Chain A
Amino acid sequence: MDFDKIYQKLKILTDAAKYDAACTSSGVTKKGERGMLGSASECGICHSFSADGRCISLLKVLLTNVCVYDCKYCVNRASNDVKRAAFTPEELASLTVGFYRRNYIEGLFLSSAVIKNADYTAELMLKTLTLLRNHYRFNGYIHVKAIPGADPLITEKIGYLADRMSVNIELPSEKSLNLLAPDKTRKSIVAPMKQISEGIIQSKSEIVKYRHAPAFVPAGQSTQMIVGATPETDLQIMRLSSALYSDYKMKRVFFSAYIPTVEDSLLPSVDTKPPLLREHRLYQADWLMRFYGFSADELLCESEPNFNPYLDPKCSWALRHPEFFPVEINTAPKEMLLRVPGIGVKSALRIIYARRASSLRLEGLSKLGVVMKRARFFITAGGRYDEAIKISSRSLIESMLSDTALSKISCCAGQLSLFDEPTGEGLMKCITGEM
């Protein structure tokens, strides 16, 4: 190993890849096999957490940051003056294996800028994967970002070696894409997305027929979009993301708060803080849609197209819909339990499990993981409310705010400019107005 060379390349190509949100190693189970190196577990494994608090699961690097394209929001765009580097497939494969054997990582997250042209780039990626899978007998997790515009045959070959693939939708609307990524088109992005989702369906049916049919992208596909670089509302973003889940069977849609790295008149200025609170709200809403049975149009509407910065989307929904409450915990179906602020997926299941043995009382609920501070306003047990609650909207609001919103607001203080400037009074009004 030429240590100095690899060190320089790793530094540049990690730096160039770090803004990508996705780093999960989930979605596929692979038992270890004699003669092979590696395994994978369905729910993924985090190996570390970086100083920004994000999970590190995969070696997330670019194959190269040499790019012929000029997407305005990207550090690696052709017209930007940055240090450039490229791994050879051999260098990257052996680095991956070296890290994997030391239990630093679950596998590789490989994406790339477009060097020479899309096909050439995709070929290099394919070569890296072939080395890993065939030469090193690597059985760990591989996530590959497809190169839009590459020959579908190469994409297909990659799909048989990777566990997960993704194609970034990049921006929440076609208009923004045309404006900011002149070399990419909606069509060139959607084509591989479609190819991958159809490939997955076909391969699944083949595996049913022949047990040893090779698996195509067994961990499914994901995508991500940049939030805050362009003017779309949260409602537009949520609608797009539900369409991506249903039309292309996405496993995950990731949001990435826009961090300005380049100056451009079409973009927020470079001293704009990344909208982290907004990104957080979008993930909460995404979670509600995937696991709690909410739809995008329940959470937001045309007249209120953005999330409330002070309340999480579930509390905000509950406050707008008093007609659904109180929920009787001894009889309510799971879907209703899930709608109660303070009850999560796990605690809902525990309630259902525990109430089969004996009827539940409010006092026992916190042992089941229910956050009573919030839930007590919305539930009854055997028809009884919590005696301690005085029904004043103020205490209700405060209970919702104290740890969810207020701490977020204080720790993310610089980014509220996205929303109306908060004043104590305005805050109370904006919330009680919803009651």
Chain B
Amino acid sequence: MYNGRNVALVYDGSFYGLLSAAWYALENKITPAEITAKRLLLPIFEEKEIETDEKKAMRLLHGIENRIFKGVSKKVFALWLSDRENKEELLLDYLRFGLSHGQKTARLLTEPAVCETEKTFRAVYNEAHRLKGFLRFSEFDGFLAAITEPSCNALPLIIGHFARRFPEENLLIYDKKHKLAALSQRGEISLFDADEFFFPKRSLEEKHYRILWREFYNTVAIKERLNEKCRKTHLPVRFWHQLTEMSEENDVNALNFENIKLTFND
């Protein structure tokens, strides 16, 4: 049987694309050397281009919900959102193992594919939870905007939270790392790819709020209890540059909000 060792499945990077690739591998009973969204200039393996098929993707999701367990799609979605290497291959291993073990899959935590998937799932959701707290908006004429660089593609998991929290506001969250923007216009959500984002200059009022918040932040710490290690555990340093309270005004390291220019790519 052709086991696919020499084949790389290339998909378009979308969630449905990934599911289509998994479908292809399961249907043809192959374990490809690689499933990837990035085309190499000099391919090492024979490349098989996967066409994204929304119908097949939905069928696969329904199928695994029934044959593995209710809620398994959430794990699969989290895998797709994650930035871990070889997430595609892990997904395929997980689905294969799940399809042959059914309901009890989630309990078999000693199986590497299950354990790794659970870990990734938790990491993705933890990151989303942190962003709910650590995102900072600045107010510009008529909208609130935030920039972030999360460790996974978490915007799809958090935009709903902010849309519900601020149902009367216009929100824009830009993920600089995954080049994704999430918009909520009075509760109406949309997501789109954007290579770059530039925001208008901050108003005087905005600058005042930033100073007030920094003052609060610095004052509330009790100097008899300083504990830098503890702060860094809870508030990982990688978030600091997006936090108003950690930036000096006009700090060059702070994420850049200057100039009026919006570039979209559709």
Q: Do A and B come from one complex?
A: yes
B209 touches A50 (CB 8 A): no
Given known A45-B133, A47-B133, A53-B231, contact A357–B167 (CB-CB < 8 A)? no
For chain B, the bracket of interface size reads 35 or more
CA distance A33 to B163 in the complex (A): 10
A36 touches B167 (CB 8 A): yes
The answer to whether the Cβ of B144 comes within 8 Å of any Cβ in the partner chain is yes
The answer to whether the Cβ of A14 comes within 8 Å of any Cβ in the partner chain is yes
The answer to whether the Cβ of A103 comes within 8 Å of any Cβ in the partner chain is yes
Our pick among A14, A101, A411 for the contact of B169 (Cβ within 8 Å) is A101
Our pick among A101, A257, A259 for the contact of B166 (Cβ within 8 Å) is A101
B221 touches A18 (CB 8 A): yes
B109 touches A368 (CB 8 A): yes
Our pick among B104, B205, B222, B243 for the contact of A18 (Cβ within 8 Å) is B222
Q: Which residue of B lies closest to A44 (CB)?
A: B133
CA distance A46 to B219 in the complex (A): 17
Our pick among A1, A47, A257 for the contact of B205 (Cβ within 8 Å) is A1
B136 touches A32 (CB 8 A): no
Given known A52-B225, A53-B230, contact A354–B108 (CB-CB < 8 A)? yes
* Distance between B13 CB and nearest chain A CB, rounded to angstroms: 29
The answer to whether the Cβ of B215 comes within 8 Å of any Cβ in the partner chain is yes
A47 touches B225 (CB 8 A): no
Our count of residue pairs bridging A and B at CB distance below 8 angstroms stands at 162
A37 touches B168 (CB 8 A): yes
The answer to whether the Cβ of A210 comes within 8 Å of any Cβ in the partner chain is no
* Distance between B252 CB and nearest chain A CB, rounded to angstroms: 22
Q: Which residues of A contact B220 (CB under 8 A)?
A: 14, 17-18, 50, 56, 60
Q: Which residues of B contact A367 (CB under 8 A)?
A: 109-110, 115
Segment of A4-12, A78-86, A290-298, A418-426 in the binding face: A4-12
The answer to whether the Cβ of B138 comes within 8 Å of any Cβ in the partner chain is yes
Q: Which residue of A lies closest to B109 (CB)?
A: A354
Q: Which residues of A contact B136 (CB under 8 A)?
A: 102-104
Q: Which residue of A lies closest to B104 (CB)?
A: A357
Our pick among A33, A39, A56, A101 for the contact of B217 (Cβ within 8 Å) is A56
The answer to whether the Cβ of A15 comes within 8 Å of any Cβ in the partner chain is yes
Q: Which residues of A contact B253 (CB under 8 A)?
A: none
* Distance between B90 CB and nearest chain A CB, rounded to angstroms: 16
The answer to whether the Cβ of A237 comes within 8 Å of any Cβ in the partner chain is no
CA distance A39 to B166 in the complex (A): 8
Q: Which residues of B contact A34 (CB under 8 A)?
A: 167-168, 187
Tell me which of A3, A18, A104, A276 has the highest count of chain B C-beta atoms within 10 A of its own C-beta: A104
A18 touches B219 (CB 8 A): yes
Q: Which residues of A contact B164 (CB under 8 A)?
A: 31-32, 39
For chain A, the bracket of interface size reads 35 or more
The answer to whether the Cβ of B192 comes within 8 Å of any Cβ in the partner chain is no
The answer to whether the Cβ of A98 comes within 8 Å of any Cβ in the partner chain is yes
A356 touches B107 (CB 8 A): yes
The answer to whether the Cβ of B139 comes within 8 Å of any Cβ in the partner chain is yes
A35 touches B165 (CB 8 A): no
Q: Which residues of B contact A101 (CB under 8 A)?
A: 137, 139, 144, 166, 169
Tell me which of B134, B162, B165, B213 has the highest count of chain A C-beta atoms within 10 A of its own C-beta: B165
Q: Which residues of A contact B132 (CB under 8 A)?
A: 45
The answer to whether the Cβ of A274 comes within 8 Å of any Cβ in the partner chain is yes
Q: Which residues of B contact A53 (CB under 8 A)?
A: 225, 227-231, 233-234
Q: Which residues of B contact A350 (CB under 8 A)?
A: 109
B225 touches A98 (CB 8 A): no
* Distance between A229 CB and nearest chain B CB, rounded to angstroms: 14
CA distance A356 to B108 in the complex (A): 9
The answer to whether the Cβ of A283 comes within 8 Å of any Cβ in the partner chain is no
The answer to whether the Cβ of A19 comes within 8 Å of any Cβ in the partner chain is yes
Interface residues of A in 338-354 (CB under 8 A from B): 350, 353-354
The answer to whether the Cβ of A250 comes within 8 Å of any Cβ in the partner chain is no
Given known A19-B222, A33-B167, A367-B115, contact A102–B244 (CB-CB < 8 A)? yes
Q: Which residues of B contact A6 (CB under 8 A)?
A: 212
Q: Which residues of A contact B133 (CB under 8 A)?
A: 45-48, 103
| A-contact bits for B176-214, CB 8 A (1 contact / 0 none) | 000000000001000000000000000001001101110
CA distance A216 to B227 in the complex (A): 37
A102 touches B138 (CB 8 A): yes
The answer to whether the Cβ of A364 comes within 8 Å of any Cβ in the partner chain is yes
Given known A32-B167, A39-B165, A350-B109, contact A49–B235 (CB-CB < 8 A)? yes
Q: Which residues of B contact A31 (CB under 8 A)?
A: 164
The answer to whether the Cβ of B92 comes within 8 Å of any Cβ in the partner chain is no
Given known A11-B219, A101-B139, contact A274–B224 (CB-CB < 8 A)? yes
The answer to whether the Cβ of A358 comes within 8 Å of any Cβ in the partner chain is yes
CA distance A276 to B226 in the complex (A): 11
| A-contact bits for B107-147, CB 8 A (1 contact / 0 none) | 11110000100000000000001001111111100001010
* Distance between B250 CB and nearest chain A CB, rounded to angstroms: 18
* Distance between A85 CB and nearest chain B CB, rounded to angstroms: 13
* Distance between B113 CB and nearest chain A CB, rounded to angstroms: 13
The answer to whether the Cβ of A273 comes within 8 Å of any Cβ in the partner chain is yes
The answer to whether the Cβ of A59 comes within 8 Å of any Cβ in the partner chain is yes
B167 touches A35 (CB 8 A): yes
The answer to whether the Cβ of B12 comes within 8 Å of any Cβ in the partner chain is no
B208 touches A49 (CB 8 A): no
* Distance between B135 CB and nearest chain A CB, rounded to angstroms: 5
Closest 3 CB pairs of A and B: A53-B230, A357-B107, A32-B164
16 A-B residue contacts at CB 8 Å? A3-B212, A10-B215, A18-B222, A35-B168, A36-B167, A38-B166, A39-B161, A45-B132, A48-B134, A101-B169, A102-B136, A102-B213, A103-B133, A353-B106, A357-B108, A364-B109
